[in-house]
Structure 1
Amino acid sequence: MPLPMLHGVIPILVTPFHEDGRIDEESLANLVDFNIDAGVHGLGVALGSEIFKFNEAERAQVTACVIRAAAGRVPIVINTGAAGTDLAIHYSRAAEAAGADALMVIPPSFMPVSAEEIFDYYLAIDRAVGIPLILQDVPQGPVPPGLAIRIIEACRNVKYIKVETLPVTSKVAAMAAVAGDRLTIFGGAGGSYFIEEMRRGALGTMPFCSQPADFVAVWDAYQRGDEAEARQRFDSTIMAINRLGNQGGDIFYLLHKQLLVRRGVIRTAFVRSPTTALDPVTAGEIEQLLAKIVPVAIPFGTSAA
């Protein structure tokens, strides 16, 4: 059975900035190439890209830059969820017009909403666009299996779901049991449970973009039935970064950006305010780990996967 259009490793791109906070398009294009050269199966722009800190022009700028840099080599997923249905439709139509291959849509979460309101939200977006939609099940806006079934029965474009509600492994298993033959399931949460999710029915993950070759190696090993190799690669290269990045706040942004700077992929590790200030101990831990992964920092623009 052929794999669906979206499957495997689809990293969510960080947004590189200049030191003054402007979007660094050269670094972003380098980041796209770095990931595609590593063999990823797609790329995404989403919450891990700091899109919630963008103005309207910047959202369009990043979407256009990523699509232009990818040049059709891999599918591009743009997150177009919003606190209001009309705004989500606006973002979705704009991303489709810009050339996105699929849309990932988080439920409204600023104010509590009912399952019926979430259903109506997805139905309205589905009717407004003509490309695949990815439901996003997150702690602040859960999409349980029963609701997912209702949505896919009513929406022609909903083909995928990204499961991130804790505990993610049991949620992936529950979703696969109910909707696995009708929805392609992705894991999220930085790919921390990638192998466990694949065992339970997931066909991919959407991690951060600083270790694409490692995630692709895990995917490849698992697909050829070598789970021991998949586990060894995951534990030796990915686990330490995810564990440190999950220590608190949003330090994962800085951690992944610093790794990309050290690899020569992006110019700076600037994270837009507000962001967690690192204490000296954590800063030291990050520096120690990154020096182990990339012993000699690579100048910007000369990166290697």
Structure 2
Amino acid sequence: MKVAGNSISGVLAVFQTPFDDADRIDRAALENQFDWLFGNGADGVVFAMVSEVLRMSSEERADVAALTCKLAAGRGATVISVGAESAAVAIRYAKQAQDAGADAVMATPPALFPAGGDELLRYFLGIGEAVDVPLIVQDASGYVGMSLSIDLQARLHAELGDRVMFKPEAPPIGPRLTKLRDATGGRARVFEGTGGLHLIDSYRRGAVGTMPAGDVVWALSALWRALRADDYDRAYRIGGPLAQLVSLQTSLDSFVAIEKHLLVRQGVLPSAAMRGPVSDVIDAQMYQEAERLMSLLRAAVDGG
């Protein structure tokens, strides 16, 4: 099943990449995770930052992108992250993703060498014009790089039209989302990108979906469907413990560590191994708190 770019929406889960004892990508565990994600309401899958994409070789990135498209075929949309430190490399990743069958590519700006607006415009346009699938522009400045101006994003929309979508993560999330939609005449298609933390407010402002991590995809799916049904009482009941859980995750490594831990606790992954070097940001007490909050979240979802 091929998903039309302008119909990509809903809960697109950013998956975790499992590694075995030899630090190789565990393909069987990844397949099991995809079965679980789609079985728990995901509308698609995303290969991105918390998939540890920045810790992979070019060959591994291409391999995981191809495997992602194969495993998700017929079940939902596939989005592949292609951001790089140069336009040439990002375009190469984008073409590989398109050839593998991706429904969209997503790009962060270069992180090591901050560039001005005109340079970034050429970078994103180069990616968008190199492929036929939609481009999702990710402002990942909460973790890496610098924030993208509303003007730059509006210029990209003026050039690429509905072939470009956005995942804004620079604070303040809500006001910037509204400014982006206003700057594009209400046409910009925007995904919430803070793990569901700002999903209710973003939905009220016109977001077409969310790209959270997959560890509690069952909760994000329930929250999204409550919003679509205008059941805000249920949405806020789910959103409370979800916000507390996401608030524990304050860095890229803490997101990955907690998400892998919770996937192991739910029997989805056999190991929570991450590729190093890894910052020491999580201790045993925080893992325990994450488990307590996941239990409260489950109760909120199951409580109807």
- When normalised by structure 1's length, the TM-score is 0.89
Partner residue in 1 for 2:249:
245
Partner of 2:194: 189
Alpha-carbon contact 2:258-2:290 (below 8 Å) kept: no
Q: How does 1:1-305 map to 2 (within 5 A)?
A: 4-139=6-141, 140-155=145-160, 158-179=163-184, 181-236=186-241, 238-246=242-250, 248=251, 250-278=253-281, 282-290=283-291, 293=294
Rounded to whole Å, the distance in 2 between the matches of 1:217 and 1:179 is 30
Decide which moves more: 81-90 or 164-173. 164-173
Counterpart AA for 2:10: G
**Over the residues paired in the alignment, what is the CA RMSD in angstroms?**
2.1
Pairs aligned (count): 290
Amino acid in structure 1 at the alignment position of 2:75: R
SS at match of 2:276: coil
Q: Aligned in 2, Cα 1:19/1:157: closer, same or farther, shift over 3 Å?
A: farther
The one-letter code of the counterpart of 1:267 is P
Please say which of residues 75-84 and 31-40 is displaced more in the overlay: 31-40
In structure 1, the gaps of 5 or more residues are 296-305
SS of match in other structure, 2:7: coil
Closer, same or farther in 2 for the Cα pair 1:49/1:242, shift >3 Å? same
CA distance in 2: counterparts of 1:23 and 1:239, whole angstroms: 31
Q: Contact conserved, 1:106 with 1:141, CA < 8 A, in 2?
A: no
Residues 236-285 of structure 1: per-residue CA shift (max 9 Å, x gap): 3x223212222x56222111101101111111000110112256xx3123
The AA in structure 2 aligned to 1:121 is Y
In structure 2, the CA distance between the partners of 1:204 and 1:249, relative to structure 1 (3 Å rule), is: closer
Structure 1 residue 48: deviation in Å?
1.2
CA 289–154 in structure 1, closer or farther in 2 if over 3 Å, else same:
closer
Where structure 2 has 5 or more consecutive residues not aligned to the other structure, the ranges are: 297-304
* 1:69 counterpart letter in structure 2: L
1:221–1:270 CA distance, 2 compared to 1 (3 A): same
What's the TM-score once normalised by structure 2's chain length? 0.89
User: Where has structure 1 moved over 4 Å in runs of 4 or more?
Assistant: none
